[in-house]
Amino acid sequence: MRRVIFYLANFHLRFKKIVFRFGSYAQNSSFAEYVHLDPFVSLYNCNLGGYTYVSRSTTIVNGRVGRYTSIGPECKIGLGRHPLQLLGTSPLFYNRKNKFNFSLRNVDFDELPLIDIGNDVWVGARVLVMSGCKIGDGAVIAAGSVVTKDVEPYSIVGGVPAKFIKKRFSDEEIDKLINLGWWTMNHLNLNDVLENVVDNVFDSKST
């Protein structure tokens, strides 16, 4: 893994099979090999797995993203939370490090809990994902959705707020895929076993 403390790409850069396009920005983030960032992507405190791409003008804050995951353009992933149980929702009531440089009190509140996005996830364009959500392996988030709670593996969700639409496969097939964990393989090994995976998981039937 390559650790990026601060980086602003003013040009198309390639190193260790990681591609940063023009205007991509990463702070305190790490990347596996074969990661692609389109122009004007912003990452803060993130970990991206191999074979994952992030499309133009997407921002991810405090996120962990798995392998073989596809993130569409203009997504906002990691929107900070505000407490609902205090007298006020302003950061003045719970965070000393706010825009005003003073606070009324400081309470124990996690404003930006980790977002965990699994492997083989497809996040459509202009999706909003609230901080603290977990998106399971193989899930699909429809374009324009607002994700406010966890998404089960291999579920398709959409809407505002995002709601369950259907599963990609049967429960039996999903269990087989999760147990197989094909995303742990690199592209060379995966290519060799693709036909065998399809036969074993889907019993050679069309999906």
Contact 160/177 with Cβ under 8 angstroms?
no
| Cα 53 to Cα 67: distance, rounded to the nearest angstrom | 9
Taking residue 65's Cβ as centre, other Cβ atoms within 10 Å add up to: 26
Q: Could you tell me which of 165, 172, 73 has the C-alpha nearest to residue 127?
A: 73
Give catalytic status of residue 82 as yes or no.
Answer: yes
Encoding tokens for residue 49? Answer: 């797995």
The identity of residue 144, as a single letter, is G
Q: 163: which strand partners?
A: 158
Q: Could you tell me which of 21, 52, 60 has the C-alpha nearest to residue 38?
A: 21
* Active-site choice (12, 36, 82, 187): 82
Contacts of 43 (CB under 8 A, 6+ apart): 25, 26, 27, 29, 37, 54, 59, 60, 63
Give alpha helix (H) positions in the chain: 171-180, 187-202
Contacts of 47 (CB under 8 A, 6+ apart): 1, 29, 30, 31, 63, 64, 65
Residues designated catalytic: 82
